[in-house]
């Protein structure tokens, strides 16, 4: 059950003249992000403590109204309705003649999240209320949450991937994707085949740019991650390669994003995995590539995430050993000319629009040249905002820092900064293994139901 409190007024202490509309104390996108799991059922209780009615609209999944309490007109109050809808009016609160709250308007709804994984919004459908902040991110998590770790090999053992269920830590699979390879592996989880179940992409960080993808689905007698669904050599790459998985091209299937590991101009590649009739495996189609740091030939760390208000999954790149700890964020607009009426191209790989470098900053002191590891995650929790960028120092210390484009920690969001460069705020800095540790740290993030 979730409590969703609707309020309005001159609530922003930094801008007392601004009339804002809030959900649980803050305005979009700093209202808390809610993260239900796919196929779960949740009950949400809307509590309206304002004198206005708020018709709340939840995108994507319909809901059933369980109860409506209108404190001003009991004939509007009712119990369970036997149908689904996607907007419900939350009645105004009742106030006494002195303006004191007597009773809130209350609506209870239940929804099963049967469609779609990823982020969308719910909001008040009075557009001035929505524009004033009464909107909230809803991020549907996959039904099962996996945790994959690459384990380097030694003289007796090949490098392997250990996969666990992230909700109860139970063991699921141990894979040796590249027999004979004993170096470090790059692993990433994401839904590359469009079944709303996270799949595992894995690649060697040295040697060959070989990428393998295993299905996270347990079909028939298959255990999760027993079934290979793609295996390819990254076109145009040499040496090892790092992988990430994210929906870059706007189709329901996530893309595999590749990053070079030195020995050539540092390059990011974006690959769509396509079903072709003649192959039982998904086949790679390169849909974009770019050089994030001009002239740099070292290794890259890569992640993908909804880190800002562009509405697009961005590609986050970190510079490796020998370079200052530069983090750069890129996204593709997906804007295409209206003349393209070929709808079939929408469901295959969409041509990517213009690439934009939305941010570039140093995660640590510029004199640190040990290389960084980057990841993204919903770590703000009730503070709202978008995913953070997490950065670990690869050598010398276990320092981890996190950056956000804004959250309730920053107070209230400014009204409009559409034309301004995206600013990142340091949200935390800590030593993952103590201040004395000289071991470097690779970072990753895991989702919970509360951000």
- Site residues for Cu ion per CB under 5 A: 54, 124, 126, 129
CA–CA distance from 44 to each of 4, 36, 63, 409, 450 (Å)? 7, 11, 10, 25, 14
Query: Is 137 or 197 the residue whose CB approaches Cu ion more closely?
Result: 137
CA-based R_g, the chain, Å: 24
Residue 361 CB, shortest distance to Cu ion, in Å, is: 37
Residue closer to Cu ion (CB basis): 89 or 244: 89
Residue number with CB closer to Cu ion (20 or 124): 124
Q: Which is closer to Cu ion, CB of 46 or CB of 225?
A: 46
Nearest CB to Cu ion, comparing residues 2 and 125: 125
Helices and strands, counts by H and E, the chain: 2, 31
- For residue 243, give both structure tokens: 């992988």
Q: How far apart are CA 134 and CA 226, in angstroms?
A: 45
Give least dist CB 50 to Cu ion, A. 8
Q: How far is the CB of 66 from Cu ion (least distance, A)?
A: 21
**Nearer Cβ to Cu ion, position 76 or 340?**
76
Quote the least distance from Cβ 270 to Cu ion, whole Å.
39
Of 117, 284, 256, 274, the residue nearest 188 (C-alpha): 256
The least distance separating Cu ion from the CB of residue 54, rounded to whole angstroms, comes to 3
The smaller minimum CB distance to Cu ion, of residues 131 and 158, is found at 131
Q: Measured between alpha carbons, how far is 249 from 227 in angstroms, rounded to an integer?
A: 25
Torsion 39-45-50-54 (CA) sign = positive
What b/e readout covers 183-194, taking b as 16+ CB neighbours within 10 angstroms?
Answer: ebbbbbbbbbbe
Could you tell me the smallest distance in angstroms from the CB atom of residue 8 to Cu ion? 7
CB of 124 to Cu ion, least distance (A): 3
Q: Which residue has the tokens 């040697």?
A: 207
Question: CB count, 10 Å around CB of 136?
Answer: 25
* Cα–Cα distance measured from residue 449 to residue 186, given in angstroms and rounded to the nearest whole number: 26
């Amino acid at each position: 059950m979730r409590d969703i409190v609707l309020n309005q007024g001159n609530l922003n202490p930094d801008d007392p003249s601004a009339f804002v509309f809030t959900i649980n104390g803050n305005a979009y996108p700093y209202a808390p992000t809610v993260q239900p799991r796919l196929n779960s059922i949740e009950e949400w209780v809307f509590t309206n403590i304002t004198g206005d009615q708020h018709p709340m609209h939840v995108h994507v999944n319909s809901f059933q109204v369980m109860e409506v309490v209108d404190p001003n007109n009991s004939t509007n109050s009712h119990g369970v309705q036997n149908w689904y809808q996607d907007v419900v009016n939350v009645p105004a609160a009742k106030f006494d003649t002195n303006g004191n709250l007597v009773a809130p308007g209350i609506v209870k709804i239940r929804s099963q999240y049967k469609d779609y994984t990823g982020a969308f919004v719910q909001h008040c459908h009075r557009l001035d209320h929505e524009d004033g902040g009464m909107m909230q991110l809803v991020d549907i998590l996959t039904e099962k949450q996996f945790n994959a770790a690459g384990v380097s090999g030694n003289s007796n053992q090949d490098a392997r991937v250990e996969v666990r269920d992230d909700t109860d830590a139970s063991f699921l699979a141990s894979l040796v994707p590249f027999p004979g390879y004993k170096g470090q592996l790059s692993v990433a989880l994401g839904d590359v085949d469009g079944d709303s179940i996270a799949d595992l992409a894995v690649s060697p960080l040295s040697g060959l740019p070989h990428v393998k993808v295993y299905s996270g689905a347990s079909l028939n007698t298959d255990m999760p991650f027993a079934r290979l669904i793609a295996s390819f050599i990254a076109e145009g790459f040499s040496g090892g390669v790092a992988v990430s998985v994210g929906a870059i091209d706007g189709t329901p299937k996530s893309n595999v994003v590749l990053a070079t590991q030195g020995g050539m101009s540092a390059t990011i590649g974006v690959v769509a995995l396509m079903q072709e009739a003649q192959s039982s495996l998904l086949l790679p189609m390169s849909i974009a590539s770019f050089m994030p740091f001009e002239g740099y030939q070292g290794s890259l760390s890569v992640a993908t995430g909804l880190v800002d208000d562009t509405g697009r999954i961005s590609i986050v790149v970190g510079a490796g050993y020998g370079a200052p700890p530069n983090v750069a964020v890129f996204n593709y607009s997906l804007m295409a000319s209206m003349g393209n009426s070929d709808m079939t191209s929408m469901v295959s790989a969409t041509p990517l629009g213009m690439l934009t470098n939305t941010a570039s900053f140093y995660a640590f002191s510029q004199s640190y040249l040990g290389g960084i590891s980057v990841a993204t995650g919903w770590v703000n929790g009730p503070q709202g905002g978008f995913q953070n960028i997490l950065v670990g120092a690869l050598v010398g210390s276990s320092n981890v820092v996190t950056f956000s484009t804004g959250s309730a920690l920053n107070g209230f969001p400014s009204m409009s900064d559409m034309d301004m460069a995206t600013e990142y705020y340091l949200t935390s800095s800590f030593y993952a293994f103590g201040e004395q540790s000289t071991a470097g740290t690779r970072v990753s993030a895991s989702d919970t139901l509360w951000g």
